[in-house]
Structure 1
């Protein structure tokens, strides 16, 4: 059967953009190119081409002006301007069609609807069936015996199909009456007024009686009441609206119909396009259906005898430890892939238990090794009593330093940033969801060996780039050694007081139950307190509180809304407490209980190559985000305890980011204040308010300004944080810059340099790339400026604490001390201190942290010890 699909490209791409844009978190690739509309559009096209058809065409509007604007100047006049973030994606959307093997058309002064209309008439006899895909119901006028319209309710999966019969059932009119309907009732989306006061129901009744608009107008003098008056007043306007709404079916089409025959995508160019866009999920989809040409140079030997290992373990080897499970504390180690001058090999993991040669080779400092994710390898090996040393290259860390946005969880995604694609995606090997499993054949062995070859191929390129960027020191002296420190910390883990954790569980559960009962009583009904929709109805309909805003999904019940209602009803305070306690219970009580391993400890994973600033983040579980704002949250810290008879020592950098700012900005007033040991927030308040005696409120304002400056906070953001007017906040910021001119000059220079270079950098040349600074969208540029101001400060502080960790680890090892570094919580280091070493460790840690780097201001460390983490604060 010959079947033609006609797609309203303009309609589809608008839907693709706004389907994700409403969240405010637009997709963009590592080069700063927005891609959310392209991704959505391509996904929709992929859904369509899975259908059964012979020919396909996508029509677009070309430009703003059409022949309809000549007829009615305000045609589509009510529509908002197209966002710049969307506009810049349109050429990429059209390019995607070329790679997908789909032809498109666009014509000056003509809309996509008219091109589609012309195809339905011109090629009517060439096809058994013609399908139109669009949510524009103007196209319903084209429906007939062969032509039907598919309108989607959600994505391109849930369709309503309109033919002559279903259209009449759904709307009460026939296709030929759609333009009459538009003439009578108008169309708000196109800014067509129609007849004022005539809605859809009235228009349908008139057409049921008169068949068309012209017949209605012919009898206008006999139609009584307000309706007759309205028709007599606006009938000329109605005729114009009908004319405007009528789709042209006689546009010129030069290409023969066979030009639009579909023969499939150009997979080679499509993959290249997807790689440029960084659509890795779509590349995986192609890989599942396309047989890729094997690399004929690729071969490896499976080592099954431990005695063979002596022949292949040589200097300058590229090694991958393949394992199964994203949480490598629980991973099943599968084996070692090794590539070197002797060839490529796969060594099953069990051979390490049999081979002293392999154990010694891995731990030999003099045998140079290149790897991917040293920290992960080290943790797995240390958990089995082995180790890996002599690593002089880690592809993951090198890629991360070159551009923090390069690194994701998937090896293939990382190397594709360097135009290397001869390796599978993790998901293609191990599956996902219910199908996540170790493959039965040798797939994972080939996959692992392919990774070692990739490391070998990319090593020199990445090292050259690091040296060109003056980042080799950052790579070799900070990130590589700190990976080993973090591995030791992760393996050590931290002890948990499970009895106290259960006490907290019982206490919080009871309080949540009591709060639930109280809230239901105050609401005079039972409802799901955790449902924003149900909560909004209770607060703003049942209890009559004043709503700030209502969206399509219901009333807003965010924390900022509730805080403004605190004094209006006793239910609000209880709801806020309920939210806090349920969050604590689910995230920390239950979350921590589920994270305790067989040794009764929690072993977090530090994501070393993840954040854009160089700071570490923590997962499974996150131990860097334990709440301290409320006492209920702080009590969770009591769960974390030292080894038997030992102490926990917390050593925290005091105001390190402000100290880094003073150093980098070379701001004399700030430098002198820190050198004199003054309270920096009191000093700032004194300068801002021009007085010596400072109140606690004034100090709080100064503190907010100090930290706001670091994060590039706007006057509006500051005003929200300390509950003052934006004008007052702006005055505070201006005064701050006047009193600290070096900071203003520094911040302006940072933004200016980052705009020219495309990145901001730390003391140790860590870069944060900021493509948003060149965005045509104001809000994106402003976000880029804030990031440019913050990245050097936060990143430098992150580098400093990493250096301290490395130096402390060296000292602990050299002095053969029993105490261990357990946690890094941003600016704080937590140690399990042996009871015989308390004074030694306190002195060693404080001196090392305060002297690991020389700045223009002193670094100061505050220390507290206790029998649990709560006591260290």
Structure 2
């Protein structure tokens, strides 16, 4: 007998919302309810293996079962905004999965479920209804099972009820369960019943009389006395409660079970949405549905652990073409290497006494002399174990995959196998756990060999696909001319590192600690009590309940004390201003004063990591530690730069592009006025203020210039009138007028920005000046906020991405020029539009000129690229 599963959408989404910890993705969209809903749905599907699935939803504007009773259900507790936001998103996810959604104006989900269930039962289907609302138990029969999810000790369990189960638990039939519920009422929905009659008493009354009407007709026989009196006094309410609880099993809903067949839940669109919302654990379901088994070659992987055989292998192998390489290098140690050079030849060579690291290094160098390329993953991390003469032959396949899809979180071999080879492979963690390569070589040598061979094989074959795709989308030049050369520039920067004044760092931390203590005492005094300032819950209680400050939004966990809420209150309430300062300083202390100290190595320098595959726009990011996020707005934050110093005999030269994104906007939009302003070297913000506010240039006030600056930069990021009004503390109407005047002043910019959005909607991606693509799936979302976010991405990504490309080109050219001129000075840091060079004192003039020449000529624009170069004995002085 075919099976149909019906799910109460709002009920399960609501249950998931309160049962799963809050999750937000990169766009700060709440997703915990969606994630929990999907987990429950997949659990049901795995258990039931149904042919058909339908999800029913209440209408978003609740009209409820019968309008005459809306006054009762209308008193329901309002849906939290974090949950409300997820309702259209779960519908969008279900639609992407091809799952049938049914809803009907004027009817609740349980009416729809009851109607479909009863009709389907008559048509010979077995039905399971998944709901958190026990009212649905009245629908249970031999062929209609009710499944109610419950969370016990953090684990989801599902209670199952057929008709016999309902009777066994409550002592009443499913039909009688309605009357039992009518007596009890429902306090959660403010539905009336007979006060004082609980579940046990209600069950006993209905067991005896069969219905509330019959019980009332025999009121003198109802026991106990309290129940008899309550039923007599509240009979009208009980009848009303019964009507409210009775599910309509003949609602005029339109549905087609055949169209609700589970054919292909794991579509490309659904996969992209799961990735967008970062549902990593659920992506494996797509793997199982869409990937093939491992190829037979995997059974032929071989380990060569005899020196004579290794020599024979290198002497006899044909190393022409592309070679896949997995070098097991970690913590300065090589544990082995896997090579894939022919379709049917993949071998692993461990380093276990008979083969040395130097031997492998030499053989890889010899191999590079005859092959076309050597493909690997995260090439930068293994460069210490590879001879520099091999660098020109190296290919990082992960970088190529990043160019094709910069929205992914990782580009590991198993990801490449799934995306480009249609294979599902175990990842490193599944094979060797958290062990280092050195540890695994001792206790999991077979698994480590398999891991290495799989990566070498996958990288070689995936690169063949990736390379073709890069050509097809005209991004191969980005890979060849920018991303791969940049790998070696970043590696040199990481090796060089930046010196830190440890004593100065400690003094900075002590200064922060003193100020933090002062702030704590002041906050306690102003609040009239001591509390944990770092606890949002305690802080919310003190501010909004004890001190009676005007509260902002309240979440399920309490009052919101987010920065945007407190910033609105700070001008009026000194305690809030102190709390904001306290937060800023404690973050400075933990992240920088204390946090940076752990990264200082024996040479007195921090050797951070620069990443090419993290941001969707192409910007380089910095981690371990993040030196690109050094504060600049607060004076005490800027002071942290003083502890970064050049080594003896050197100074810092800091080169910073001037307004590069606005200049790119002028170039790409071809706006005559903006181009003219830059080409005549005028103050762009003053010019904008003059034209927007209709005042002579020499009469522009500081405030007008500041406001114009906010508009200039805001336009790049798709700022709204609301956002601008918040930034400038002006009315939304004024902000809207500013933006309108701006577009009237620079009409081509409006056309250009609208064109960016239209192009992204049409193509599904935005493009930089250099052809770098940034997918914008948010533009197709059914959720308005998501679409708005997508439009801002479409406006900004071409500009920010072009700036990222330009600074990368400049870095490559500056690095090459320093080497070509045999200079000792080194590039050590990149922060978005800024380059920092540790410059020998006798090379200052030469390095300054190299920076100016190579940064201003990194791209040819309709307006000049300008660079500010400053010199200093610490980073603050040079900035």
Specify the SS of the correspondent of 2:356. Answer: helix
Distance in 2 separating the partners of 1:656 and 1:723: 27
- Other-structure match for 1:240: 243
Distance in 2 separating the partners of 1:307 and 1:389: 24
Residue 135 of structure 1 pairs with residue 132 of structure 2:
yes
Distance in 1 separating the partners of 2:219 and 2:247: 22
- Other-structure match for 1:706: 712
- Other-structure match for 1:179: 178
Residue 618 of structure 1 pairs with residue 622 of structure 2:
yes
- Other-structure match for 1:605: 609
Alpha-carbon displacement from aligned partner over 1:642-665 (angstroms, at most 9, x marks no partner): 222211211000000000000000
**For 1:15-164, what aligned pairs fall within 5 Å after superposition?**
15=14, 18=17, 25=24, 40-44=36-40, 60=54, 72=66, 83-91=87-95, 111-112=112-113, 134-139=131-136, 150-153=148-151, 157=155
2:384 maps to which of 380, 383, 401 = 380
Distance in 1 separating the partners of 2:680 and 2:322: 53
RMSD of aligned residue pairs (Cα, Å): 5.0
Shift of 1:739: 0.5
Q: Name the CA shift for 1:273/1:403 in 2 (closer, same or farther; >3 Å).
A: closer
Alpha-carbon displacement from aligned partner over 1:243-279 (angstroms, at most 9, x marks no partner): 448999xxxx999xxxx9xxxx99x998999978666
Shift of 1:392: 5.8
Shift of 1:729: 0.8
1:448 maps to which of 428, 445, 452 = 452
Distance in 2 separating the partners of 1:270 and 1:560: 39
- Other-structure match for 1:543: 547
- Other-structure match for 2:105: none
Shift of 1:151: 4.4
- Other-structure match for 1:589: 593
Shift of 1:599: 3.3
- Other-structure match for 1:430: 432
Residue 662 of structure 1 pairs with residue 666 of structure 2:
yes
1:735 maps to which of 737, 741, 745 = 741
Alpha-carbon displacement from aligned partner over 1:400-435 (angstroms, at most 9, x marks no partner): 112212451532223422243254322222324999
Is the CA contact (8 Å cut-off) linking 1:642 and 1:648 kept in structure 2?
Answer: yes
Specify the SS of the correspondent of 1:442. Answer: helix
- Other-structure match for 2:281: 281
Specify the SS of the correspondent of 1:319. Answer: strand
Specify the SS of the correspondent of 2:629. Answer: coil
Shift of 1:111: 4.0
Distance in 2 separating the partners of 1:339 and 1:627: 47
Specify the SS of the correspondent of 1:823. Answer: strand
2:655 maps to which of 644, 651, 654 = 651
Alpha-carbon displacement from aligned partner over 1:564-623 (angstroms, at most 9, x marks no partner): 332444432322222111111222222212222343322222220221111111111111
Tell me whether 330-339 or 834-843 shows the greater mean CA deviation.
330-339
**For 1:277-356, what aligned pairs fall within 5 Å after superposition?**
281-282=281-282, 294-298=294-298, 299-304=300-305, 305=307, 307-308=311-312, 309-312=314-317, 314-323=319-328, 330=331, 332-341=333-342, 343-348=345-350, 351-354=356-359
- Other-structure match for 1:101: none
Distance in 2 separating the partners of 1:760 and 1:183: 58
Tell me whether 822-831 or 572-581 shows the greater mean CA deviation.
572-581
Alpha-carbon displacement from aligned partner over 1:263-304 (angstroms, at most 9, x marks no partner): xx99x9989999786665356699999x99553234344344
Distance in 1 separating the partners of 2:399 and 2:49: 49
- Other-structure match for 2:212: 213
- Other-structure match for 2:861: 855
Specify the SS of the correspondent of 2:561. Answer: coil
Q: Name the CA shift for 1:612/1:239 in 2 (closer, same or farther; >3 Å).
A: closer
Q: Name the CA shift for 1:39/1:562 in 2 (closer, same or farther; >3 Å).
A: closer
Residue 573 of structure 1 pairs with residue 577 of structure 2:
yes
Q: Name the CA shift for 1:853/1:93 in 2 (closer, same or farther; >3 Å).
A: closer
How many residues end up aligned between the 2 structures?
Answer: 824
Tell me whether 402-411 or 477-486 shows the greater mean CA deviation.
402-411
Distance in 1 separating the partners of 2:367 and 2:775: 36
Distance in 1 separating the partners of 2:64 and 2:636: 67
Q: Unpaired segments of 5 or more residues in structure 2?
A: 102-107
Distance in 1 separating the partners of 2:761 and 2:267: 32
Shift of 1:172: 13
Distance in 2 separating the partners of 1:55 and 1:772: 32
Q: Name the CA shift for 1:867/1:453 in 2 (closer, same or farther; >3 Å).
A: same
Shift of 1:314: 3.3
Q: Name the CA shift for 1:247/1:202 in 2 (closer, same or farther; >3 Å).
A: farther
Tell me whether 738-747 or 301-310 shows the greater mean CA deviation.
301-310
Q: Name the CA shift for 1:704/1:55 in 2 (closer, same or farther; >3 Å).
A: closer
Is the CA contact (8 Å cut-off) linking 2:670 and 2:748 kept in structure 1?
Answer: yes
Alpha-carbon displacement from aligned partner over 1:506-563 (angstroms, at most 9, x marks no partner): 3323333343333334334332111100111111222222212322211111222222
Distance in 2 separating the partners of 1:527 and 1:535: 7
Q: Unpaired segments of 5 or more residues in structure 1?
A: 98-106
Is the CA contact (8 Å cut-off) linking 2:377 and 2:412 kept in structure 1?
Answer: no
Shift of 1:60: 4.3
2:407 maps to which of 402, 405, 408 = 405
Distance in 2 separating the partners of 1:698 and 1:616: 34
2:730 maps to which of 708, 724, 743 = 724
Alpha-carbon displacement from aligned partner over 1:455-483 (angstroms, at most 9, x marks no partner): 33233332222222222221211111111
Q: Name the CA shift for 1:8/1:96 in 2 (closer, same or farther; >3 Å).
A: closer
Is the CA contact (8 Å cut-off) linking 1:69 and 1:75 kept in structure 2?
Answer: no
**For 1:660-809, what aligned pairs fall within 5 Å after superposition?**
660-692=664-696, 693-809=699-815
- Other-structure match for 1:100: none
TM value normalised by structure 1 = 0.81
Distance in 1 separating the partners of 2:271 and 2:778: 20
